[in-house]
Amino acid sequence: MAMSSSITAVSRLVHLTPSISNPKPFLSPKPLFTLFSLKSSSYSPILSSSSLNSSSSSSSSAAAANSSITMSYDKQLVAAKKAASLAARLCQNVQKGLLQSDVHSKSDKSPVTVADYGSQVLVSFVLQKELPDQAFSLVAEEDSGDLRKEESQETLQRITKLVNDTIANDGSYKVSPLSEGDVLTIIDSGMSEGGPNGQHWVLDPIDGTKGFLRGDQYAIALGLLDEGKVVLGVLACPNLPLESIASANQTALNKASAGCLFSAQLSCGTYMESLDGSPPVKVHVSNTENPEEASFFESYEAAHSSHSLSGSIAKKLGVKAPPVRIDSQAKYGALSRGDGAIYLRFPNKGYREKIWDHAAGYIVVAEAGGVATDAAGEPLDFSKGRYLDLDTGIIVTNRKLMPALLKAVQDSLKEEVLPSL
């Protein structure tokens, strides 16, 4: 337990070396600051210099230099799109043949699938292969604790096979197959705590797990923090059609086979393309100023967000259209292209939002001209570690509607108390 706690407290880095003839599985030739090695794994988790004391002179100098220029994240964005797209391919294959045995429960009782773990492995793998010269820190949802249990060996074997098959079928990386030990180590490379210093990837390998299990909406959500700010984001939404879902009924939406990839980079706008690689098109949030013409998104599961509170807010605002209820950060993507004008999220009192549930979606909407705040109108702060400390809930809309929406939210919160966990 002490070793686990110490590992969690630092950024975790796994170096992958460039491909060579007769490649060996990803050995870092001269690992520095080695924390430990796993006999069953060819990976060496090491501590990156960016994870060391932020008061060091080199880190301070780098931070000062970064703050004085406009950074370009083009290489990171290309890598992120590749990573999310490959993970989406694995998830699509699993969802097609979903078996009950693919699902088990974590200690918090939320369902986890082999696709959830496999997605995290692929994203981490691709980012490190595509950006071999950059320090790697990943804040991700899953860890390998449950998979290391004896009863999970069959699940681990299936994850390993799915990952290796996906890498082989893609053909971009000439590498030896990953072992089960490699897979466990890669999963645990997502144990960074994030924070205000350096760069940290933020991943939800399957956002909307329940939607995934139902065959509905889900997203692979990947963002990048730089000095605590979200600077790029990618949302791979395999079941979201390229066409607007503003008027689609739930049955038609669930049967949609096309998939969308949203990508955004700081000061560069938001773009949408198909997961099959259609030319990207720039998107923008709805420009509506009239609440009566606005529609709003909310979580499909009532346990994830108070439907009654959202209804009260919509009534005060004058919204006439019924809510569109879909799972995951696919809502952020749909909002970024104007399918709706408002997204409301009000979980039970005491629930702490995780940064991976919003980082990618946040910048996708922001770069499309939208704005996201908490219920007090304060901006979302992703610099405080793995959790968002915010007031009550999250509201997202365009800048024209935000003043009226914020008033309706605050008036409704005075009348309705959210249930506690």
Strand pairing class (13-14; 45-46): antiparallel
Crossing angle of helices 402-415 and 307-317, in 10° steps, is 130
Domain membership of residue 118 (yes or no) is: yes
What would the mean pLDDT of 114-132 be, rounded to a whole number? 97
Domain membership of residue 9 (yes or no) is: no
pLDDT in tens, 335-345: 999 999 999 99
Contacts of 61 (CB under 8 A, 6+ apart): none
Domain membership of residue 144 (yes or no) is: yes
Spot the catalytic one: 209, 270, 288, 373.
209
Are residues 238 and 302 both part of a single domain?
no
- Mean pLDDT over the full length of the chain: 81
Bridge partners (DSSP) listed for residue 204: 221
What would the mean pLDDT of 270-294 be, rounded to a whole number? 95
The structural domain count of the chain equals: 2
CATH number at residue 367: 3.40.190.80
- Plot region of 139 (φ>0 → left; ψ -120 to 50 → alpha; else → beta): beta
| Domain end point (choices 282, 310, 332) | 282
More confident residue, 252 or 406: 406
Cα–Cα distance list, 51 to 56, 135, 199, 350, 381 (Å)? 11, 9, 9, 30, 20
What is the per-residue pLDDT for 209?
87
Is 216 catalytic? The answer is no
What would the mean pLDDT of 126-144 be, rounded to a whole number? 96
CB of 373 within 8 A of CB of 379? yes
More confident residue, 351 or 37: 351
Cα–Cα distance list, 124 to 82, 148, 185, 218 (Å)? 11, 19, 11, 19
Spot the catalytic one: 102, 113, 116, 374.
116
* Residue 206, amino acid: I
Are residues 266 and 339 both part of a single domain?
no
Are residues 278 and 295 both part of a single domain?
no
What would the mean pLDDT of 138-158 be, rounded to a whole number? 94
Are residues 258 and 327 both part of a single domain?
no
Bridge partners (DSSP) listed for residue 46: 13, 34
> What distance lies between CA 367 and its chain's CA centroid?
17
Q: Which of 334, 354, 134, 318 is nearest to 242 (CA)?
A: 334
Checking if the pLDDT of 402 tops 50, the result is yes
What is the per-residue pLDDT for 381?
97
CB of 393 within 8 A of CB of 346? yes
What would the mean pLDDT of 134-152 be, rounded to a whole number? 95
Checking if the pLDDT of 18 tops 80, the result is no
What is the per-residue pLDDT for 414?
87
207 assigned to a ligand binding site: yes
Is 373 catalytic? The answer is no
Q: Which domain holds residue 377?
A: 291-417
**CA angle, 279 then 173 then 76, to 5°:** 50
Domain membership of residue 37 (yes or no) is: no
Are residues 299 and 234 both part of a single domain?
no
Domain membership of residue 65 (yes or no) is: no
Domain membership of residue 36 (yes or no) is: no
CATH number at residue 140: 3.30.540.10
293 assigned to a ligand binding site: no
What would the mean pLDDT of 100-120 be, rounded to a whole number? 72
Sign of the Cα torsion 121, 193, 73, 276 reads: positive
CA distance 349 to 372: 20
What would the mean pLDDT of 177-206 be, rounded to a whole number? 97
167 assigned to a ligand binding site: no
| Domain end point (choices 251, 282, 313) | 282
141 assigned to a ligand binding site: yes
Q: Which of 152, 142, 42 is nearest to 87 (CA)?
A: 142
Are residues 124 and 222 both part of a single domain?
yes
Domain membership of residue 15 (yes or no) is: no
Checking if the pLDDT of 87 tops 50, the result is yes
Alpha-helix residue ranges (DSSP H) falling in 359-400: 359-366
% pLDDT > 70, the chain = 73
What would the mean pLDDT of 368-378 be, rounded to a whole number? 96
What is the per-residue pLDDT for 63?
43
Are residues 205 and 323 both part of a single domain?
no
User: At 252, is the pLDDT very low, low, confident or very high (cuts 50, 70, 90)?
Assistant: low
Q: Assign 314 to helix, strand or coil.
A: helix
With b meaning 16 or more CB within 10 Å and e meaning fewer, what string describes 287-299?
ebeebeebbbbbb
Checking if the pLDDT of 386 tops 50, the result is yes
CA distance 90 to 411: 44
Token readout for 307 is 């439907």
What would the mean pLDDT of 114-136 be, rounded to a whole number? 96
204 assigned to a ligand binding site: yes
| Domain end point (choices 248, 282, 316) | 282
Would you say how long the chain is, in residues?
A: 421
* Residue 268, amino acid: C
What is the per-residue pLDDT for 213?
84
